[in-house]
Amino acid sequence: MADSNFIDYVKFCSRSGAGGAGSVHFRREKHVPKGGPDGGDGGRGGHIILRGNAQHWTLLHLKYKKHVIAEAGKGGEGGRRTGADGKDIILDVPLGTVAKDAETGEKRFEITEDGQEVILTRGGRGGLGNDHFKTATNQAPHFAQPGEAGIEEWIILELKLLADVGLVGFPNAGKSTLLSSISAARPEIGDYPFTTLVPNLGVVAYRDDKSFVMADIPGIIEGAAEGRGLGIRFLRHIERNSILLFMIPADAPDLNAQYQILLHELEKYNPELLDKKRILAISKSDMLDEVLIKEMEQEIPKGIPYVFISSVSQYNLEKLKDLIWQAIHS
């Protein structure tokens, strides 16, 4: 997932097709002196449809589609022949894509399953032909319905990555290093803040051929909910996670204070995030001895499962996987 290719927000104009007009037609045959109305119905206008595709990870392929326009339905014909429906347009999107009305911000629906199809903008209905309007007192109606107009609207698609575990921490807390150590993901790693500029996903192998998915988002800083840093833009990607794995480096001045800052920023962004299960990992612990670990345990907030780890030396990574697996399936 290259940095420049990760697109999690697109806005475009969605216009469905208009329905075809009904036909005004009368049966005219040599040996049928009283052939009545036989105008056919117009075809339905094309829909704009979103389809879940597990092979897609970003909305990059939709970034430059500013207008998506479906085909109009064809008009009806004589002999009660219905016009052809307009061709639907199907847009493949990653799982976790949320469709919203651009004007009101109202959420329409969310795509969560591979192959799931939902109509985003419905095509107009075809008009009825004059065959439908014949009655005992009006046996030759000279009118039919016009097709229903299509709908034109501006749509926003937002991607929320679907993962079992979301990594939460300050910049340079070792989140990317952990992801690269326990999965095949290869995020950029560097000794400077905000190395991670876009979210990364990794599949973590567990015992007996089991696995779970971990998401790493850019680091959060104090004041993120007011727009500071990068993390606030990507916090939507942990809204769908089952577990939040907080990562604080062992050289942090105060473990509890850093944890409370992270918790406070999540609460300001979305209070529901605090309802998720939490695990605390103290990273870069290969520099600690048993005495230091005992002292630091006094700073750890009460009631949260924790583990001291080192991604570089692989210290306690299996124990961390055990904690995550138990939390996911408890």
Strand, coil or helix: 250? coil
d(Cα 85, Cα 73) in Å, to the nearest integer?
5
Which residues are CB-neighbours of 14 under 8 A, at least 6 positions away? 48, 68, 120, 121, 151, 152, 153, 154, 155
21 marked among binding-site residues: no
CA distances from 92 to 51, 55, 318 (A): 5, 9, 37
3 marked among binding-site residues: no
310 marked among binding-site residues: yes
268 marked among binding-site residues: no
137 marked among binding-site residues: no
78 marked among binding-site residues: no
168 marked among binding-site residues: no
Strand, coil or helix: 56? coil
219 marked among binding-site residues: yes
Q: Which residues pair with 205 in a beta bridge?
A: 211
313 marked among binding-site residues: no
114 marked among binding-site residues: no
180 marked among binding-site residues: no
Residue with tokens 């583990």: 307
4 marked among binding-site residues: no
312 marked among binding-site residues: yes
301 marked among binding-site residues: no
- Per-residue exposure over 52-70, b if at least 16 CB sit within 10 Å of its own CB, e if not: bbeebbbbbbbeeeeebeb
202 marked among binding-site residues: no
289 marked among binding-site residues: no
Q: Which residues are annotated as a binding site for Mg(2+)?
A: 176, 196
Q: Which residues are annotated as a binding site for GTP?
A: 169-176, 194-198, 216-219, 283-286, 310-312
Q: Which residues are annotated as a binding site?
A: 169-176, 194-198, 216-219, 283-286, 310-312
